[in-house]
Structure 1
Amino acid sequence: MNRHGQRIGEPASRWRMQIVPIATVMIASALPLMLPLVASSPVLPPLGLLFFLSWQLLRTEMWPVWIGLPLGLWDDLFSGAPIGTAIALWTAASIAIAYLSQRIYWRGFLHDWAIGALLVAAVQALAVFITFPHAPAGHMLGLVLPQIIISVLLMPLFLRLTGKFDNFRLKRR
């Protein structure tokens, strides 16, 4: 035992290893409903999606590819989008990240930011088209464009926050 009460080679808490990533995504998906904000168009970035993509980019091997199903369902319950929108789009994003992880062996911060930015933009644009199928495309993209820009600019912050949560997750005791 060392002076902090830890044994050398002791594994991290199994509870934290499994709960922290899922809890961050679920809390982030529900957080916009807890904020006292009224807007006529989407302004808040999809916080759950940003954490979901950040976890996938940081720890590709941690979750199975189908993890977008339950986490997407949770997000659909809080986002107001038709049930199945985030399920399908998050699972497709998870598959895309798994595919790219097999193709790009040496990824850096800029690669992760670019991949995350493309996926955030694609998921948000497709979610708008699924949610409002009969609305004019130019009008809907104009409404969601500020949200996409904010999300892309926040991606590095969420990658950093996910790294901090990962350090907490892997910490012993």
Structure 2
Amino acid sequence: MNQKGPRLGEPASLWRMRFVPIASVMFASALPLMLPLIANSPVLPPLGLLFFLCWQLLRAEMWPVWIGLPLGLWDDLFSGAPIGTAMGLWTVASIAIAYSSQRIYWRGFFHDWAIAAASVAMIQSLAALITHPHAATGRVLGLVVPQIIISTLLVPLFMRLTGMFDNFRLRRR
């Protein structure tokens, strides 16, 4: 008997369940190097960070809290920041999101948006201060404010894209 489509009760592909979230973060971290854009200050939002936070907020149980180490290392390799910057900051964000997921039982869209916006603002500010330790604090933070605003406004889009990737990830063969 030749059947078309998935069988009832058939599980999703294990390869796709593990690969899609990691690949989306890694591709998003590498994407700014592929775009032909030249700027004096950072204007592109941290795409890898946005996908990382959205996956953490959408599926908090999917990754261990230490997943920020390898994905942060990948982002550090492509962002030009000192090695360990994103590794440490993403891991702290992962721990904070895991902690808040245990404390906040009924979290809605606006809660997730606020958590992602606060995380992006904190991570980008600290990363800028770590990257430029001898520059004036106000000037360094002034450079990343447009990037933080753009990132905050793009969180709903990235949540939607993460949801689409999650549907693809969970789809049966």
Partner of 1:125: 125
TM-score normalised by length of structure 2:
0.98
> CA distance change for structure 1 residues 2 and 55 in 2, over 3 Å: closer, same or farther?
farther
Secondary structure of the residue aligned to 1:82 is coil
> CA distance change for structure 1 residues 11 and 34 in 2, over 3 Å: closer, same or farther?
same
Partner of 1:66: 66
Secondary structure of the residue aligned to 1:37 is coil
1:15-94 alignment to 2 at 5 Å? 15-94=15-94
Aligned pairs, number: 173
Q: Provide runs of 4+ in structure 1 moved above 2 Å.
A: 1-5
Distance in 2 between residues matched to 1:2 and 1:109, nearest whole Å: 43
- 1:162 maps to amino acid: T
- 1:68 maps to amino acid: G
| Shift, 1:4, TM fit | 3.5
Distance in 1 between residues matched to 2:2 and 2:103, nearest whole Å: 42
Aligned 8 A contact 1:72 1:87 in 2: yes
Cα displacement string for residues 98-122 of structure 1 (whole angstroms, at most 9, x for unaligned residues) = 0000000111100000000000000
2:152 corresponds to 1:152 = yes
Identity of matched residues, %:
79
Partner of 1:8: 8
Instruction: Please give the root-mean-square deviation of Cα atoms over the aligned residues, in Å.
Output: 1.2
Aligned 8 A contact 1:2 1:8 in 2: no
| Shift, 1:5, TM fit | 2.8
Structure 2 unmatched ranges of 5 or more:
none
2:140 corresponds to 1:140 = yes
- 1:33 maps to amino acid: L
Structure 1 unmatched ranges of 5 or more:
none
| Shift, 1:150, TM fit | 0.2
- 1:15 maps to amino acid: W
